[in-house]
Structure 1
Amino acid sequence: MHHHVSRRSGGRAARHAARSAPLPCAMRPVRGGLPGGTFNPLTADEITRIHHAALDALEQIGLADAPASGVTAMVAAGAREGEDGRLRFPRALVEDMLAKAARDITLHGRDPAHDLLLSGTRVHYGTAGAAVHMVDVKDRSYRDSTVQDLHDAARIADRLDNVHFVQRPMVCRDVLDNYEMDINTLYACCSGTAKHVGTSFVEVAHVPGCMDMLHMIAGGDAAWRARPFVSNSNCFVVPPMKFATESCLVMEACIRAGMPVLLLSAGQAGATAPAPIAGAIVQAVAECLAGVVYVNALAPGHPAIFGTWPFVSDLRSGAMSGGSGEQALLTAGCAQMHRFYGLPGGAAAGIADSKLPDMQAGWEQGISNVMAGLAGLNMVYEAAGMHGSLLGFCHESLILADDLLGQALRCVRGIEVNDDSLSLEVMRAVCMGGPGHYLGQDQTLELMQTEYVYPALANRSSPKEWQEKGRPELIEAATARKEQILSGPAPARFDPALDARLREAFRIHLAP
């Protein structure tokens, strides 16, 4: 047999230049929206049992404390208000509303290149949370987080390929007025990144002003409604099985304003949710199904994310422990339930209980992010930068998460098996009269960039090379990258005329 040897054009330098040029997104080995779903901790029978238990809970226990407007809408749709003031949901009502619920929704970026299609098992990783502290890696301390810290986090995330959206990860502790805090949170995130932004609003009175700002950024109400680039992270329930009255009113206002909502149920297993993993999933699913009824009773087909976010407690102390194997299983099990309903879903992973970006943080962030991705979770929230069981956020950790999530996404992508990848012809050429190794093979060189993910900061040099280079440290490398990103102008910043109008209309705390 004659084997055709391809003559690659250009010399070694040209090939090296081609390899080091950034790949177009579709050719990169990993990207947002890769399908997961190969990891299934629950069997089909167990999923059905959880579903029926959640329906029983809704029919028999129901939820308390819905606002009057919510009660009216849900009772009109078929919910029953009991003597005890609890709303109960017949099975048929839940099934009807599941049939009306939005599927395959797109969360828009301000730049369409960052649009996220939430369908099937497509996986996206991003930030989230409400940390009240900033982690300073230099003197290993915690301090109050500021609006500048939040803006910097958005600017950094904007430049990280494997962070696909920015839900505000920390609270602006230096903006004391709650309305100004909501306004400045929006401003800090949207002027820092062109990716999809998530945020929450303290109370319903704040929504109109925040929508005014978004209309100004979008270019009017119609332009905003066509491509809403911010979603409302809404804790519409106070587990166990109670509606959060004020948050429900915020949710209603956001729905009227054309803003997608994340229906967020954040029970803590052993405290505000049952201690067994299965029981925590049952309650989270029941609460989110009540949210599906609520949203679709108000506005059938309004884009809503099924946000089962049950957390784990360390039962020795009652403290939250987001970095545990139990948390990873909880999140993966929830992702399976989202797939069972065919709804766009989100849950939390990547939370470190460790106070600093150290080895403990690495395993805590790595295990849960990989399991969430393999389970096919559409939106993996809190995937980057979170420490101290959600109390601290760290810019260096956010940067290192880009490498961590790149490897997680490579696991999600899985193994392609086809005639070319089975490699029989290449084996034949190498082993029978060939060089006896695969290093210079066309196949090897062609796949270097499309099959393999190379970390930006993680160090893979030999101990000898590492010594010769002055023993570089991971955290120092992340700090240098942070300073490099923040030293230039932000690509996502508003044009000066719009920025001037925003600063005239609202009290913006960030220096221009």
Structure 2
Amino acid sequence: GSTAPIKEAGIMAQINAEVLAGITLSQLVNNGAPVIYGSVPVRARMDTLGDSYGAVETSQYNIDCVQMARFYKLPNYSTAGVCDTKTPGIQTSVERLFSDILVTLSGPQYLHCAYGLLDGNSVFCLLQAVLDDAHFQMIRFFLRPPRINETEIAEVLKQIRAVAATPQKLYISYIRRVMRSGEISMPYPFEGDGEADNVFALAYEKMQQLLSKPVEHIDQATTSKIFREIPGILPRLNVYEEGR
């Protein structure tokens, strides 16, 4: 809508041309250099023409790029979980989970999930990071391959026959072993008591627990090696630097 056409066909045609041009240039400079099909397509806001990361189309465009990368048989870098809001809340959760789930299911090889980032990726919020961690665990659990094979089927059939022969017809005695194995998901970690919704209060408590723990830094020798061998890292980020 600003630097690319507002219609899906237009923005995808432009993105594809730009990505392929970059890939071509990299091969001209260094033939055989490993590349990825990476892009961060975002729809423009209609009021300010700024980025609208929370728009439905933003997720749609990212999924389109995943499909284009698959067409060219290239690994894909995509984006999800970005939102327009400045503070954690219902809108933030809706925008983030909507894109997190859909873009993840489209199958990119590399996915930037905007961990803890708000306001179009311009602000990091530790409380949001705590929430994101819980939500990522849910998505990760959902994406596990199904455990359906001959062994599982035989075991389930055995359970069904055994339970069907009992008067109560309940499978309660089989639950504990499955819970211990991690095969079923645990309750939402910030679940309220009864009908109360205490998500943000409980997430805040979790955040305070994390902040109370001692900070673990990379050891000084490794840190010095990183700053010595990787140019461009700001010296002030070195926790062992004199005067800090």
TM-score by length of 2: 0.81
Partner residue in 2 for 1:286: 17
| Cα contact 1:274–1:280 (8 A) shared by 2 | yes
Residue 452 of structure 1 pairs with residue 184 of structure 2: yes
Equivalent residue in structure 2 for 1:337, among 54, 58, 68: 68
| Deviation for aligned residue 1:490 | 4.1
Partner residue in 1 for 2:127: 396
| Deviation for aligned residue 1:417 | 3.5
Partner residue in 2 for 1:351: 82
Name the SS for the 1:351 alignment partner. Answer: coil
Which deviations, in whole Å up to 9, do the C-alpha atoms of 1:444-494 show, x marking residues without a partner? 33332432233673216533xx6xxxx7x3333333333433444444x23
The one-letter code sitting in structure 2 at the alignment partner of 1:494 is: I
Partner residue in 2 for 1:494: 218
* Paired residues, number: 233
Following the alignment from structure 1 to structure 2, what is the Cα–Cα distance between the partners of residues 393 and 488? Answer: 20
The one-letter code sitting in structure 2 at the alignment partner of 1:451 is: E
Structure with the bigger percentage of strand: 1
| Deviation for aligned residue 1:372 | 1.1
Which deviations, in whole Å up to 9, do the C-alpha atoms of 1:412-444 show, x marking residues without a partner? 336443342583332222223264122221xx3
Identical positions, percent: 26
Name the SS for the 1:347 alignment partner. Answer: strand
Name the SS for the 1:417 alignment partner. Answer: coil
| Deviation for aligned residue 1:339 | 1.7
Which deviations, in whole Å up to 9, do the C-alpha atoms of 1:146-199 show, x marking residues without a partner? xxxxxxxxxxxxxxxxxxxxxxxxxxxxxxxxxxxxxxxxxxxxxxxxxxxxxx
Superposed, 1:234-273 pairs within 5 Å as: 270-273=1-4
Which deviations, in whole Å up to 9, do the C-alpha atoms of 1:344-381 show, x marking residues without a partner? 11111101112211111111111101111110011211
Following the alignment from structure 1 to structure 2, what is the Cα–Cα distance between the partners of residues 446 and 279? Answer: 54
Following the alignment from structure 1 to structure 2, what is the Cα–Cα distance between the partners of residues 289 and 474? Answer: 44
Partner residue in 2 for 1:479: 204
Partner residue in 2 for 1:507: 235
Following the alignment from structure 1 to structure 2, what is the Cα–Cα distance between the partners of residues 276 and 408? Answer: 30
Following the alignment from structure 2 to structure 1, what is the Cα–Cα distance between the partners of residues 226 and 76? Answer: 33
Structure with the bigger percentage of helix: 2
Following the alignment from structure 1 to structure 2, what is the Cα–Cα distance between the partners of residues 354 and 281? Answer: 26
Which deviations, in whole Å up to 9, do the C-alpha atoms of 1:332-351 show, x marking residues without a partner? 22111222222111111101
Which deviations, in whole Å up to 9, do the C-alpha atoms of 1:72-130 show, x marking residues without a partner? xxxxxxxxxxxxxxxxxxxxxxxxxxxxxxxxxxxxxxxxxxxxxxxxxxxxxxxxxxx
Instruction: Could you list the structure 1 runs, at least 4 aligned residues long, displaced by more than 6 angstroms after superposition.
Output: 500-506
Unaligned runs of 5+ in 2: none
| Cα contact 2:37–2:74 (8 A) shared by 1 | yes
Following the alignment from structure 1 to structure 2, what is the Cα–Cα distance between the partners of residues 425 and 489? Answer: 50
The one-letter code sitting in structure 1 at the alignment partner of 2:199 is: L
State the Cα RMSD in Å: 2.9
Name the CA shift for 1:302/1:454 in 2 (closer, same or farther; >3 Å).
farther
| Deviation for aligned residue 1:411 | 3.0
Residue 432 of structure 1 pairs with residue 157 of structure 2: no
Partner residue in 1 for 2:32: 301
| Cα contact 1:374–1:411 (8 A) shared by 2 | no
TM-score by length of 1: 0.41
| Deviation for aligned residue 1:302 | 2.5
Unaligned runs of 5+ in 1: 1-269
Partner residue in 2 for 1:324: 55
Name the CA shift for 1:509/1:316 in 2 (closer, same or farther; >3 Å).
closer
User: Which stretch of the first structure deviates more once superposed, 355-364 or 421-430?
Assistant: 421-430
Question: Relative contact order, CA 8 A, sep 6+: which one is greater?
Answer: 1
Name the CA shift for 1:509/1:389 in 2 (closer, same or farther; >3 Å).
closer
